[in-house]
Structure 1
Amino acid sequence: MLRLTEIKLPLDHSESALKAAILERLAIAEDDLVAWTVARRGFDARKRGAIALVYSLDVEARNEKAILKRLKGDKHLAPTPDTSYRFVAQAPAELNSRPVVIGMGPAGLFAALILAQSGFRPIVLERGKAVRERTKDTFGLWRQGKLDPESNVQFGEGGAGTFSDGKLHSQIKDPLHHGRKVLTEFVKAGAPPEILYVSKPHIGTFRLVSMVEKMRATIQELGGEIRFQSRVEDIEIEDGQVRGVVLADGERIASDHVVLAVGHSARDTFRMLYRRGVYIEAKPFSIGFRIEHPQALIDSCRFGSDAGNPVLGAADYKLVHHCKNGRSVYSFCMCPGGQVVAAASEEGGVVTNGMSQYSRSERNANSGIVVGITPEDYPGNPLAGMEFQRQWEARAFELGGRDYCAPGQLVGDFLAGRPSTAFGAVQPSYTPGVHLCDLSSALPDYVIAAMREAIPAFDKQIRGFAMHDAVLTGVETRTSSPIRIKRNNDDFQSLNTRGLYPAGEGAGYAGGILSAAVDGIKVAEAVALSMVGQAAP
């Protein structure tokens, strides 16, 4: 087959337009076109009022070699790449031991799935609860202000990505098309087939819940064992080699291959690893607030008269500003038609995140507006970033009234440096509730200064971004892990602990559902090869 890229058509093009575009680009007769499918569909919205859909197509035609030879100068024509997944190893009939996977977010879920599909019957240890029970506990915080430190937005089956927009795009390099494997497995589990071809696929929270359950069932059917409410208290290391894990109830599980996919909020686990001497280093991350606008404003600014077109859906944005003080401010985890959610995992702290359902039909758009920080901002041991996060989460808890309400401020008042006293046109979506105040003491002075410079700059790109009644809600501190558990590039094992395979966001090797899932696949392949005595390719 042939891959045709950069085919641009008007937003309202006819059903026959794609076929006509193929015939024109390849300069072939209609009889020579056998079949075609959409490989990718995005849109170019740089010119409001003239938005174009942009396609990549997989085309089956007669005499394909002759077509390639005739059009060899066309950089938008090539053979269709092979994106099928190939397992790197299969388990022997008799396993001497079973791999352990700690954590069941995207990285742990896909590590377990690949290991199960390869016959290794993994044991998955998740400190939180199954996704349905976890959802009830999460709603307990959102609706009643009751936090369960072991079952919340951060901990439980599906990981933090379960309560998010469910974005499935990433900018990672993926030469082996592992991302395609992720999307294919999601479709098998009930995701809409369109995620295989739209340029910015997303699923939404409610669909993710049922999908995670189906993937869990697949792992179990293949011999995997999944244990919830099983927090790993310790890892046994002997002469630099992992020998097993110890659970909070004292049970020991022996294993020479342990995948560490605990997510970016497992602070007690990070501390245990540091105490055990596993190599850890501090890494940059970002902190800031969530900002909410009317979704209709974002749609109008991005799409003009085409706002509301069902093909385009709810508009998103991606913004960045480099400040005079050397800081970078950028939008993070933008959720069209969504809500701001309580994402705390420790008592006495307030953390925000964003979430959307598949429909993206809520009245507000929200995004993190965050400022990059580095280990120089929180000097100390490699875990100092955790304490830095805690400091500002505790401050948000105090400013919000110490009942898990979040501190908030209208954008106009934030820019003017005065407290807010009443909401305007934008009603915040965060529950348990938002307590209006002055956010100037909610984050470090350099963060506040950078945001006050960036928001008016963003207004030049999206008119109305600095509207007075837009709402800021604090604080966003869990943008990524504050540490990196370094690993070897060849076999994915910890730099100084054999048999320990750091994976995903918590280890500092991913950012988002897709990249974490891909990382889980790569780590699972390394485990499989090690267990059958082969070196990684």
Structure 2
Amino acid sequence: MIKITNLELTLEEEKSELKGKAAKILRIPESEILSLEIQKESVDARKEPLKFVHTVHLRVKEEERVLRKNRSPKVSYYEETHREPLIKGNMLLKHRPVVVGLGPAGLFAALKLAEEGYCPLVLERGAPMKERDEKVDFFMKTGILDVKTNIQFGEGGAGAYSDGKLTTRIKDPRIHEVIGTLLSTGAPEEIAYLSKPHVGTDLLKEVVVRIRERIKDLGGEVRFFSQMENLKIKDGVLEEITVNGEPFETEVVILALGHSARDTYEMLFSRGVTMEAKSMAVGVRIENLQWRISESQYGPSFRHPKLRPAEYTLAAKTRDGRGVYSFCMCPGGLVVPAASEEGRLVVNGMSYHARDKENANSALVVSVTPSDYGSHPLAGIAFQRDLEQKAFQMGGGGYHAPVQKVEDFLAGKLTETFGEVHPSYEPGVKSVLLKDLFPSYITEGLEDGLLQFEKKIEGFTKHGALLTGVETRTSAPVRILRGETLESPSAEGLYPCGEGAGYAGGIVSSAVDGIKVAEAVIRKYKPMK
């Protein structure tokens, strides 16, 4: 197979013209190109005119001859990678493997087990998607929270309400398996090649349900409103879990918790499961008008119909050396209530597939470490809870969020009227001094970041740009330790997995970790008869 990089199209050219451009570079007739597949598409907006830049894979007649004669630095031979076959283990399973949690890690772990004939049992504390949607909508309208089913808990996990971003920094061949599964269950085809792919919350929810149905068709079982409340470890071996008050014998549990399963973290710690505090980041959501972000990134062409709403990634160092950065940027999206505990408020961002809402939003967060909140494994949870409780109180209750215009935050004054940016958060907001919410080092970190980011995106802090607090769930506050076999050193048969266990960040890396852990189970055990 031949790979061509930096294959450019202007905004006025069509993808169908890539074949002719590739033929010209290869110095062959178009008719000799047997197939062309786009592997990556990005926008080069560094100068006018803007261009779409592609990497493509091709099959051509007499490939060796074509490669031998071509001297273009854009052209190279591409060898397809093939994963080693998965060999099943010899240990006998007496009970079905259990997957705890139906977020990305649990979903893909269960699917892998089901595909290989292991008939997993999946436990999800929250509701199935349709009922979950209804409960989330009710919360956004009324401020009445269901602690079992919300933006954190329920089918699809927190990722189902996050825009469905599929960007990842990891390099793992299992990524192709994840993308292939998403495509086969209804995700849009462009996720296969966009440099920053996303599904959109609206489409992702449908995809999640189809994957759940595939698991069931392959012999798996999914139980909703089913929370693992306890586990029994004897002589370093997992023997039993308790689900909704009932004991359940099993020797394999894939622990695919979300990063908000605080009661489960506490239970695991009390049962001697080894874990440690880890670094994370906390801060706010910032909203700007989407057209201003697109104009800043694309220039005069920003309204061109082929250009998607622009994104940004920002990072800087604070005066005390901390990292401050944007996170989970949602073009044309909404700031949403992501609380999962009574009396504690937390926000997140999401976008639908069209990304057609008025505001862009992103988390703007400052790095914090155990040196800030303590080295006890659960200290990070206490730190998060304290901020969330303060945010709830400052908002006046009812899950109304504390807000402040960026210019007022930097000036240290209360926001009296909103500018051109109106808050998208429901069920409501209250104007506050956000410096009263945070420790001084976080306030100073946000100030430092905002001033530096204004230099990178003109107007980022102006035109009524708005801050909404508090963002605390950027990642898990703990890491549940695991060894070379991916099992907990405290309990053979217990497999910590995904973002909630501290081994992933985002949909794709969580799904990859789910597959990886399922493969470890498969290599150790053979399916039940």
Q: TM-score with structure 2 length normalisation?
A: 0.96
Deviation at 1:344, TM superposition (A): 0.3
Alpha-carbon distance change, 363 to 87 in structure 1, aligned in 2, over 3 angstroms: farther
Q: d(CA) in 2 for partners of 1:26 and 1:501?
A: 50
Gaps of 5+ in 2: none
Q: Over residues 49-103 of structure 1, what are the superposed CA-to-partner deviations in whole Å (9 max), with x where a residue is unaligned? A: 22221111111111112333444884751224246x7761458999532110000
Counterpart selection for 2:405 from 401, 404, 410: 410
Residue matched to 2:341: 346
Cα distance between partner residues in 1 of 2:263 and 2:124: 14
Query: Which residue in 2 is equivalent to 1:522?
Result: 516
Alpha-carbon distance between aligned partners in 2 of 1:192 and 1:532, rounded to the nearest angstrom: 36
Give the equivalent residue in structure 2 for 1:425. Answer: 420
Instruction: Supply the distance in 2 between the matched residues of 1:361 and 1:31 (Cα, whole angstroms).
Output: 40
Once residues 257 and 89 of structure 1 are traced to their aligned partners in structure 2, the CA distance between those partners, rounded to angstroms, is 18
Task: Give the equivalent residue in structure 1 for 2:18.
Answer: 18
Deviations 1:443-463 (A, max 9, x none): 111010111121121111111
1:165-218 deviation per Cα after TM superposition (whole angstroms, max 9, x unaligned): 1101101121xx211111111111111111112111111111111111111111
Question: Any conservation in 1 of the 2:421–2:463 contact (CA below 8 Å)?
Answer: no
Could you say which residue in structure 2 is the equivalent of 1:499?
Answer: 493
1:531 counterpart = 2:529: no
**Partner residue, 1:167:** 165
- Between the aligned partners of 2:514 and 2:305, the Cα distance in structure 1 is 34
For residues 147-186 of structure 1, what are the structure 2 equivalents within 5 Å? 147-174=145-172, 177-186=173-182
Contact 2:42 2:194 in 1 (8 A): yes
Task: Identify the match of residue 458 of structure 1 among 435, 448, 453.
Answer: 453
**Equivalent position SS for 1:460:** helix
State how far apart, in whole Å, the 2-side matches of 1:221 and 1:186 are.
Answer: 17
CA distance in 2, matches of 1:380, 1:157: 32
Aligned residues of 2:404 and 2:414 also touching (Cα < 8 A): yes
Give distance in 2, aligned partners of 1:201 and 1:15: 18
The match for 1:362 among 354, 357, 364 is 357
User: Aligned equivalents of 1:397 and 1:2: distance in 2?
Assistant: 57
Distance in 1 of aligned mates of 2:264 and 2:320: 35
Unaligned runs of 5+ in 1: none
- Further displaced range: 299-308 or 367-376: 299-308
**Bigger CA drift: 306-315 or 131-140?**
306-315
Q: 2:141 is matched with which residue: 140, 143, 156?
A: 143
Match of 2:469 in 1: 474
The residue type paired with residue 23 of structure 2 is L
CA contact 1:412–1:466 (8 Å) conserved in 2: yes
Q: What letter matches 2:524 in structure 1?
A: S
Match of 1:232 in 2: 228
Residue 33 of structure 1 and its aligned partner are, at CA, apart by 2.1
Match of 1:61 in 2: 60
Distance, in Å, in 1 between the alignment partners of 2:89 and 2:113 is: 9
Match of 1:119 in 2: 117
2:243 is aligned with 1:247: yes
Q: How does 1:53-452 map to 2 (within 5 A)?
A: 53-71=52-70, 74=73, 76-82=75-81, 88-89=86-87, 96-174=94-172, 177-248=173-244, 250-452=245-447
Report % sequence identity. 46
1:105–1:263 contact (8 Å) kept in structure 2: yes
Judged with a 3 Å threshold, the aligned counterparts in structure 2 of structure 1 residues 310 and 82 are, in CA distance, closer, same or farther, namely: farther
On the 8 A contact 1:23/1:30 being kept in 2, the answer is yes
CA distance in structure 1 between the aligned counterparts of 2:237 and 2:74, rounded to whole angstroms = 50
- SS in structure 2 opposite 1:467? coil
RMSD: 1.8
Question: Secondary structure at 1:401's aligned position in 2?
Answer: coil
From the superposition, tell whether residues 311 and 179 of structure 1 become closer, same or farther in structure 2 (CA, over 3 Å): farther
Matched residue of 1:427: which SS?
A: coil
Deviation at 1:435? 0.4
Alpha-carbon distance in 1 for matches of 2:26, 2:80: 18
Aligned to 1:511: 505
TM-score (norm 1): 0.95
> Which amino acid in the other structure matches residue 168 of structure 2?
S
Matched, 1:46 2:46: yes
- Distance (Å, rounded) in 1 between the aligned partners of 2:213 and 2:227: 21
